[in-house]
Amino acid sequence: MIASDESMISVEDARARILAFFHRLDVERKPLIDALGQVLAEDMVAPFDIPPLNNTAMDGYAVRAGDTTGASDGSPRSLKVIADLAAGYVLETAVGAGEAVRIMTGAPMPPGADAVVPFEETDEPLRGLNEAAKRSANVQVLKAAAPGANIRFRAEDVTAGSVVIPAGRVVRASEVGVLASIGLTHVPVYRRPVVAILSTGDEVTEPGKPLLPGRIYDANAHAVAAMVAKYGGIPRLLGIAKDTVEDLTLKIREGLDADMLVTSAGVSRGDFDIVKDVLAREGTVDFWTVRMKPGKPLAFGAFKAPDGRTVPHLGLPGNPVSSMVSFELFGRPAIFAMMGRGDWERPVVKAITRDAVRNMDARRFYARCIVTRGTDGRYYAALTGPQGSGILTSMSAANALTIIPEEMVEARPGDEIDVMMLDWEHAP
Ligand code: AMP
Ligand code: MG
């Protein structure tokens, strides 16, 4: 079935139609580090308190606060040191009146003690740097300690049985840390999608092979594969299909064990018919013209895999910048949806354009630009060069895309515009 749609549709409309085809994938158990960027499928519950016991936040002396009342440099309180306690060890002996335990950060508080006096508030530093000299049968406390001083209390971070990280949260470094702290080695997360990527076109050549006259190297499959990997998916390169029904059919079938198939080129007028024929026989497809620049032609459809699954297909335009921008706007949300992530929206900030940006054909203009922060604290956007949709180096120089609305004919230098940040790392 073919539903050719000649009228232009908005980016939002195209994205909504696409996202309707995607749902989150099944759950897998992954080692913690490998789950980075994936979404937790279950609430993570703490099996015990953190910290598990009251412990000291400082190196110092565990004391009974009452024994230090009134202590000062001029009037120290002398306490008997009954033990030396390192982190990782528990002392059963209680600290009695007039007694102290030399204690290291993280060591559990011994019974009887209710405060910790840091070394700096005792005479220990005055005894010199020599390890043996630091220790003494008695310690002089030079400052009064309030009850509870320098103690980290049991369960002050996490209570046993509470949810430390809820289902739906993306695993970042801090989640890895929290999950490790409750003793986990593996976590249940939504699986990463496998994305099969196919370039089409008689002129397209695999990098590494000799380049015949009139041919070009395949930029699209590799750029898209890199985006898939960066956004959390698993790219699978299918190679390059010639502009023939037979080759295209063969290569597309090879990709049907993936969760999604992405093709590039063949969706604009010139090649339209071949792709259309193949897609019409192997599945369903819509050809759209999206009100955006770069990019305009876009195909979206679904194939029936031999195992009965429906494999969504995103057909990107051939021009390398169009292909990347289209994948950014439509492929990235699809990957996020399969991973159970709803946060695909990029940050959009206001920036002052340094250049004139002309927009003559009533499409939304995603011009490649570099956004930097001025000394006045505001963001500034400068175009990264010629905006032809074949000029990939100006994509490489960019960290953002302008969002010039469809109806805006020109943004003049000094005007405030919206920019969509692709990459904060490169915004110096
Ligand atoms: P098409 O969509 O087939 O009309 O292609 C539009 C333009 O993109 C043409 O100049 C193609 O040569 C170019 N193109 C198509 N596929 C690729 C590719 N994989 N890498 C780089 N450029 C491509
Ligand atoms: Mg072509």
Report the distance separating Cα 332 and Cα 227, nearest Å: 8
Please enumerate in sequence order all residues whose Cβ is within 8 A of that of 64, keeping only pairs 6 or more positions apart, or say none: 95, 96, 97, 99, 112, 113, 114, 115
Distance 209 CA to ligand 1 centre (A): 18
CB proximity list for 280: less than 8 A, separation 6 or greater:
1, 2
DSSP 205: E
In this prediction, residue 284 has a pLDDT band, given cuts at 50, 70 and 90, of confident
Average pLDDT, the chain: 94
Q: Is ligand 1 within 6 A of the CB of residue 320?
A: yes
Candidate from 216, 227, 322, 325 with most ligand 1 atoms within 8 A of CB, to mutate = 216
pLDDT in tens, 23-53: 999 999 999 999 999 999 999 999 999 999 9
Residue 38 tokens read as 């994936």
Length of the chain: 428
For ligand 1, say whether the CB of 202 is within 6 Å of any of its atoms.
no
Distance CA 422, CA 428 (A): 14
Reduced to 3 states (helix: H, G, I; strand: E, B; else coil), residue 241 is strand
Spell out where 245-320 has E strands: 260-264, 283-290, 292-293, 297-304, 310-316
- Give residues with Cβ within 8 angstroms of 273, minimum separation 6: none
pLDDT, tens only, 167-200: 999 999 999 999 999 999 999 999 999 999 999 9
What does the pLDDT read at residue 427?
A: 57
The secondary element (H helix, E strand) that includes residue 187 is strand 186-190
For residue 330, what is the DSSP state? Answer: I
Mean pLDDT of 383-402: 95
| CB 199 less than 6 A from any atom of ligand 1 | yes
Which residues are near ligand 2, the ion (C-beta closer than 5 Å)?
A: 201, 265, 271
The two three-digit tokens of residue 287, written as one number: 């050809």
Amino acid 282: pLDDT: 84
Question: Contact at 8 Å (CB) between 196 and 238?
Answer: yes
Peptide bond into 294 cis (omega under 30): yes
CB 326 within 8 A of CB 309: no
Residue linked to tokens 């749609």? 5
Tokens of 300: 């979206």
Beta bridge partners, 381, equal 353, 371
Residue with tokens 């190679």: 239
pLDDT tens figures, 59-76: 999 999 999 999 999 999
Q: Looking at residue 12, what is its pLDDT? A: 97
In this structure, the number of other CB atoms found within 10 A of the CB of residue 187 comes to 22
pTM over 0.85: yes
Which ligand has the shortest distance to the CA of 238?
1
Give, for 373, the enclosing helix (H) or strand (E). Answer: strand 368-373
What tokens were used for 395?
């994509």
State if residue 268 touches ligand 1 by the CB under 6 angstroms criterion: yes
Instruction: Give the mean pLDDT of 315-334.
Output: 97
Strands (E), 58-121: 60-63, 77-85, 99-103, 115-118
